[in-house]
Structure 1
């Protein structure tokens, strides 16, 4: 692995743990045992580093999601597993990470927002639409609106650190998004 990628990975870990604003380029170089000059050889500044970190983060997310899709059979299970993956991730990241990203790094936040919308309104909505065509998802459900509500719920979780830590991601999923998913399954499928 090259040094640039190591810097991105280590920076991501620091940002997820402490937030982006408080972690300085000095902190990153010290944590990695490299000079600040070496850090600036690879990144013109913190803004460029944050952009690269967000792009790398979503490369990881999309890789994990594609593995979930390949390993899972039913449409509902794929959606549940993707949400479970997202909740597991959100539970390990400080909410300050998302707050700092949105407030101080607007270009990086645009990249972040575009990618999470690809997941919700691309991948998940496509599975919902596919389920409607196959008859497993109730055809009266407005899949776009369904996705919009879940995006709002995830935003609330991120913004207010609203994930109860006494429960697993699976418990949270089963008692929130899972309830919604069970509610949209076509009645004929529920009887099987």
Structure 2
């Protein structure tokens, strides 16, 4: 029962952090919002940092679960990358950038965890898919996939917020400009219509 309560609290608190950032939400606010005593809250989470860390883990684990479904699909590796970014852009569009900025400024250990997941995503998912595309001759053989990934896919969340693209473009337009057109730039001539 306590695990169920903790999971529900974590889910709802994550939603609050994503909407309002972490700085402005206190443990007192969380206890009051969910009708808990502070003692109960501190029994579930040692402190706000521990709560944030588990919230970031939950955020990424939910995303990685969706990504794993895509990885198991029958699509070609480039289509899988696009499908992953459809989900990523949808998720990013629901997060207020204040969340990430507050992690950077006030919760460095939690931000390091967030960055660890981003690196894992690149190293264990995106780069292997790009390598598979290269092995299957879907992309130009001379492409440095590490460099391509770094300049095109790294920190896409921050780029989308920095340029305020969600205010002016649809998620499909964002996908086209940030992902699909860049991938079309490296596909072989024979594979151009696969995307």
How high is the TM-score relative to the length of structure 1?
0.92
| Structure 2 runs not aligned, ≥5 long | none
Residue aligned with 2:72, SS: helix
Tell me the equivalent position of 1:40.
42
Change (3 A) 1:40 1:152: closer
Aligned length: 191
Tell me the equivalent position of 1:190.
192
Tell me the equivalent position of 2:87.
85
**Contact 2:160/2:166 (CA < 8 Å) preserved in 1?**
no
2:98 is the alignment partner of 1:74 = no
Change (3 A) 1:153 1:42: closer
2:157 is the alignment partner of 1:154 = yes
Residue aligned with 1:167, SS: coil
| Structure 1 runs not aligned, ≥5 long | none
Question: By how many angstroms is 1:79 displaced?
Answer: 0.2
Residue aligned with 1:175, SS: helix
From 50, 64, 81, give the equivalent of 2:66.
64
**Contact 1:8/1:52 (CA < 8 Å) preserved in 2?**
yes
How high is the TM-score relative to the length of structure 2?
0.91
Q: Distance in 1 between matches of 2:172 and 2:193?
A: 24
Q: Deviations over 1:115-171 (max 9, x none)?
A: 11111232011100011011111111111011111214433224x262233432122
Question: By how many angstroms is 1:190 displaced?
Answer: 2.3
Q: Distance in 2 between matches of 1:104 and 1:153?
A: 22
